[in-house]
């Protein structure tokens, strides 16, 4: 199993962070098998595109809430890491109270 759970939606409260605010959070290592996805579907074209990791933040966005880690943005990066047989991903982790 790649992820802890494949979810569909964000169960945590809206954090309202902009891309600029996400960029202020230093990346840290996160195990893929500890992540719960917030998207159940992925566009295969996005995953396999040569430039799929060129646009946007270099690191996936993870929200830690109520003891769980939710992969909010960067599903294609996480899957690419899994396809390369890596079990750890560098991600920006926002800790929400709750």
51 backbone dihedrals φ, ψ, rounded to 5°: -105, 20
What pLDDT does 61 receive?
96
Contact in structure between 71 and 90 (CB atoms under 8 Å)? no
Residue 5 belongs to some domain of the structure: yes
Lowest mean pLDDT, pick from 10-19, 50-59, 75-84: 50-59
Residue 97 belongs to some domain of the structure: no
- Average pLDDT over every residue of 82-90: 94
24-78 tens-digit pLDDT: 999 999 999 999 999 888 777 766 666 555 556 689 999 999 999 999 999 988 9
Residue located via tokens 């800790």: 95
Burial (CB count within 10 angstroms: exposed 0-12, middle 13-18, buried 19+), residue 39? middle
Predicted TM-score of the model (pTM): 0.88
Domains: count for the chain:
1
Residue 71 belongs to some domain of the structure: yes
The bridge status of strand 61-65 relative to strand 68-73 is: antiparallel
What pLDDT does 53 receive?
54
Task: Look up the domain containing 27 and give its range.
Answer: 1-10+21-38+58-84
Q: For residue 95, which of 34, 23, 15 has the smallest C-alpha distance?
A: 15
């Amino acid at each position: 199993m790649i992820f802890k759970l494949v979810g569909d939606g964000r169960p945590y409260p809206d954090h309202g962070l902009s891309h600029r605010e996400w960029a202020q959070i230093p990346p840290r290592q996160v195990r893929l098998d500890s992540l719960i996805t917030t998207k159940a579907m992925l566009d295969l074209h996005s995953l396999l595109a040569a430039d799929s990791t060129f646009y946007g933040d270099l690191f996936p966005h993870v929200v830690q809430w109520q003891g769980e880690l939710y992969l909010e943005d960067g599903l294609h990066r996480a899957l690419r890491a899994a396809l390369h047989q890596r079990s750890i991903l560098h991600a920006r982790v926002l800790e929400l109270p709750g």
